[in-house]
């Protein structure tokens, strides 16, 4: 069956989760420009019923987790992932999908979808702000055709190691994309319906638009 974006005149629906984070309107505009019908919403029916869900996030790991929990966002994300419904996390919306975040010596539990702890980047200059290259996973759908492009980062914390227990060899392991600033860190993960980027596609110009279009094709 053809994907929604490959059928003339049919645009996928995407909900951008409105849970109190900043930077949501630029994400809405970018996903609309990539070809989706977008709704900024905190309505559970809209969040659960959309073809895709985008979870943006800026600021501190702990405050984003608290806002997601209090708004019901963590439950909705979990339900979508359990049902095979696509989700894309951006920046801190990427970070909270891991086990935990450590900021100023304080550990905050994350959603635990993936192993790893968000920790300070060991770089001479932080935040890591500006354009950087990435090393995409082989066969990546998100980075198809844009493997050599640069993307826009703004962050001081990241996951710097990856240990994934495959368990069932019949299951495809997550695809992990890396970048470097002071140390190697995880720039993106693709794991079935759940994808996320540490960088900001909505601030990454043509490369970011291409990545969002690639994600819409997976819906």
Domains in the chain, CATH or no CATH each: 4-217 (3.40.50.880)
pLDDT for res 190: 98
Q: Count of CB atoms within 10 A of residue 39's CB? A: 15
| Helices marked H in the chain | 24-34, 44-49, 61-71, 73-82, 92-95, 205-217
Of the candidates 77, 106, 107, which has an alpha carbon nearest to the alpha carbon of residue 196?
77
| Catalytic residue status for 202 | yes
| DSSP conformation letters of 117-145 | EEEE---SS-SEEEEEE-BPPTT-STTTT
Q: What is the pLDDT of residues 91-117, one digit of tens each?
A: 999 999 999 999 999 999 999 999 999
Active-site residue, selected from the candidate residues 128, 155, 181, 200: 200
| pLDDT of residue 211 exceeding 60 | yes
Active-site residue, selected from the candidate residues 113, 119, 190, 202: 202
**Cα-to-chain-centroid distance, residue 58:** 12
Q: What is the pTM of this model?
A: 0.93
Beta pairing partners, 186: 178
Q: Is 206 in contact with 141 (CB distance < 8 Å)?
A: no
| Catalytic residue status for 149 | no
| pLDDT of residue 169 exceeding 60 | no
| Catalytic residue status for 91 | yes
pLDDT for res 2: 42
Active-site residue, selected from the candidate residues 33, 66, 91, 180: 91
Q: What is the pLDDT of residues 105-156, one digit of tens each?
A: 999 999 999 999 999 999 999 999 999 999 999 999 999 999 999 999 999 9
pLDDT for res 90: 98
pLDDT for res 9: 62
């Amino acid at each position: 069956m053809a994907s929604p974006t490959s059928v003339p005149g049919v645009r996928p629906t995407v909900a951008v989760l409105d849970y109190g984070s900043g930077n949501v309107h630029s994400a809405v505009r970018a996903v609309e420009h990539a070809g989706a019908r977008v709704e900024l919403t905190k309505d559970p029916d809209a969040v659960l019923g959309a073809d895709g869900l985008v979870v943006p996030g800026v600021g501190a790991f702990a405050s984003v987790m608290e806002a997601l929990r209090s708004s019901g966002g963590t439950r909705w994300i979990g339900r979508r992932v359990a049902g095979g419904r696509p989700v894309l996390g951006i920046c801190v919306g990427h970070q909270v999908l891991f086990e935990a975040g450590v900021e100023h010596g304080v550990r905050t539990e994350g959603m635990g979808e993936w192993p790893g702890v968000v920790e300070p980047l060991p770089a001479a200059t932080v935040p890591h702000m500006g354009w950087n290259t990435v090393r995409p996973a082989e066969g990546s759908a998100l980075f198809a055709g844009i493997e050599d492009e640069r993307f826009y980062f703004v962050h001081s914390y990241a996951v710097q190691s990856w240990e994934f227990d495959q368990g069932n060899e019949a299951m495809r392991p997550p695809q992990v994309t890396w970048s470097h600033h002071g140390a190697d860190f995880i720039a993106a993960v693709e794991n079935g319906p759940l994808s996320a980027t540490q960088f900001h596609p909505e601030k990454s110009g043509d490369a970011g638009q291409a990545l969002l279009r690639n994600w819409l094709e997976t819906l």
